[in-house]
Structure 1
């Protein structure tokens, strides 16, 4: 979770009508606007399946035209300005940092008019206007989109193939690849590894980052203070309970299923020592998702050149299928009161009348406007086994 005091966490179930998003623009280390921007509406979306997980959309009120960008380094320009976003929990006067974002798109909507000053009226009732040159006034908005700092990693593609520099440390190699773009922090539980000397980088820098992080058995996200944080991919302990009741925070939750997510066949491809293709197939033979049943054939493919015998590809296919069955999950859409300290990858518990559902936060959306902060939208990944158990209990209880 993001940094938050116990007092602010306790205030999440209180009056939230005065909570506000605070957005501060800056460039090259200097704040470029006196006070928070006049934000009329906003949303921040996080999705841990995206390479750039955090994305901001703002509508900024611009009554006098001072915020409408003309130059790339203006306050809301696209040539490097950043936005620091925080959510003010008004009940305790605390700000929770939501991250640092680089402006990627800006679209001013302005209407200009010539203004003349009426000094009076002549004997015939006609207006007498000033002889000064016309003064132009503006009123409008600026639509702004911004991405978290991994945008810079994605943009900075390799200009030419690069070889590994730190073969003995994946973490050192990650720091090298992101040097000058983002700083890196590493959570407890992440164990460093080595990078094969045969690896060569070309094309997408962010693709290389993802490959190295996955090799650590880890994932990454941007922190509230703008660091690239690497943490274990294995879900940790729950950090928040979404519960109904007078003191709870649950407003509504639903569930959705996709037939394509329920893979029941795995095909693994390898190569023999004499470079001939090897194919291993494993099928789910029992239960409602069996390949011979109404669900039909829903395959997934894997490939590895290190599988060089028929026995190896057969064994790998069985292993992958067992893993796919064990890891089956659905993403539960949840609407609840906003908790700005929550992050994608955090584990949350969703309480129901007959038991709890627990899983990592896959997606998260905060939004609001001048009137306050809207309800928060989450996608929580829950194992299918948990959902089946709770569903059976709810059905039996007549819920």
Structure 2
């Protein structure tokens, strides 16, 4: 979740007003602050390599006739240099608190215009309106390619490699993993980001930059809820709990690997008892799995068992929710929904925020099969 006070959680459960402004940075230098931001939206999707994408318009009142319209690489809002920090301020009575939604890279200016007036024979700028498209900081790593093929040595820390490849802060919020084998990384378009995302999978989840500007790992497993969503009278839920899809429920996993000398390694793990047994009415549904990080028979056996356990332990399905705005929520958070006909707890996979009082959220919920 984004940083907040305990009082803010209580305020968000009731009636409140909100306002979004942006601060503008060049590197670590804050160039402008508290700019009006209108017609904005911010979408987050855990399934994208660059999860956060947004748009909006900066509205600026000129002080001394200056313009905020960028020209090429020049101008405080030029996409060649600008980063923005959207800040949402929540007010209720005497209460007021601001929440940073994170720092984002400006990637395009789709439109820009100045309002002018004539005075003493001169044309003066009285204000500017500049449209912005922006993305989360994963985009900087996607743009920064390897100059030459890289290599991670066997035994290297996965978190340490993420830190080395990105030169960004890293929050160690799951157990670190030592890479079991030498891992080469290809010098290609987007190769540095691909390496970081694969290291995240090695750590048991998804590597994402959070609102504090640090890389962290969102675990695949759904844990205990850290937030509560309020449905309210205007809220909607598209609940597909009655929909069952067996295509991804595998009761047998076949692993195909190579050892350090390039010789093949095989491992098989099957369900042999219960309603999902390979000898039962469900019959056999086989998944094939490989990984170049597996180099021994013990690692192969462990890998296929983990994949099988994940398959039969639960089936995940998505619930689409429209609920009251909660700016504290981030993708990867586990949230509980209040006000629905049955309890729903799931991992936040998608969030759509805008200047609407409602937001759209996709929760990934587990259905137990055993």
TM-score class normalised by the smaller sequence = 0.7 to 0.9
Which residue of the partner structure matches residue 97 of structure 1? 100
Q: Distance in 1 between matches of 2:309 and 2:154?
A: 35
Q: Distance in 2 between matches of 1:70 and 1:298?
A: 59
Contact 2:176 2:203 in 1 (8 A): yes
Aligned pairs (5 A) from 1:98-247: 98-110=101-113, 132=121, 135=123, 141-164=129-152, 167-179=155-167, 182-187=168-173, 190-203=174-187, 204-243=191-230
Q: Unaligned 5+ residue runs, structure 2?
A: none
The offset of 1:208, in angstroms, is: 0.7
Q: Distance in 1 between matches of 2:54 and 2:182?
A: 39
The offset of 1:223, in angstroms, is: 2.7
Contact 2:226 2:333 in 1 (8 A): yes
Q: Distance in 1 between matches of 2:27 and 2:263?
A: 54
- Whether 2:286 is the aligned partner of 1:302: answer no
Q: Unaligned 5+ residue runs, structure 1?
A: 118-129, 387-399
Provide, for residues 155-186 of structure 1, a one-character-per-residue CA deviation record: whole Å limited to 9, x for no partner: 1121210122684322212111111xx22121
Which residue of the partner structure matches residue 349 of structure 1? 336
Q: Distance in 2 between matches of 1:163 and 1:95?
A: 43
* 1:384 aligned counterpart, secondary structure: strand
* 2:194 aligned counterpart, secondary structure: helix
Aligned pairs (5 A) from 1:253-332: 253-255=237-239, 262-263=247-248, 268=254, 270=256, 301-303=288-290, 320=307, 323-332=310-319
- Tell me the TM-score normalised to structure 1 length: 0.73
The offset of 1:325, in angstroms, is: 4.2
Q: Distance in 2 between matches of 1:5 and 1:116?
A: 48
The offset of 1:3, in angstroms, is: 1.4
Instruction: Quickly say closer, same or farther: Cα 1:330–1:250, change in 2 above 3 A.
Output: farther
Contact 2:170 2:215 in 1 (8 A): yes
The aligned length equals 353
- Whether 2:366 is the aligned partner of 1:377: answer no
Which residue of the partner structure matches residue 4 of structure 1? 4
Q: Distance in 2 between matches of 1:271 and 1:217?
A: 19
Which residue of the partner structure matches residue 127 of structure 1? none
* 1:99 aligned counterpart, secondary structure: coil
* 2:12 aligned counterpart, secondary structure: helix
CA RMSD of aligned residues (A): 4.2
* 2:197 aligned counterpart, secondary structure: helix
- Whether 2:1 is the aligned partner of 1:13: answer no
Q: Which moved more, 1:326-335 or 1:195-204?
A: 195-204
Instruction: Quickly say closer, same or farther: Cα 1:261–1:77, change in 2 above 3 A.
Output: farther
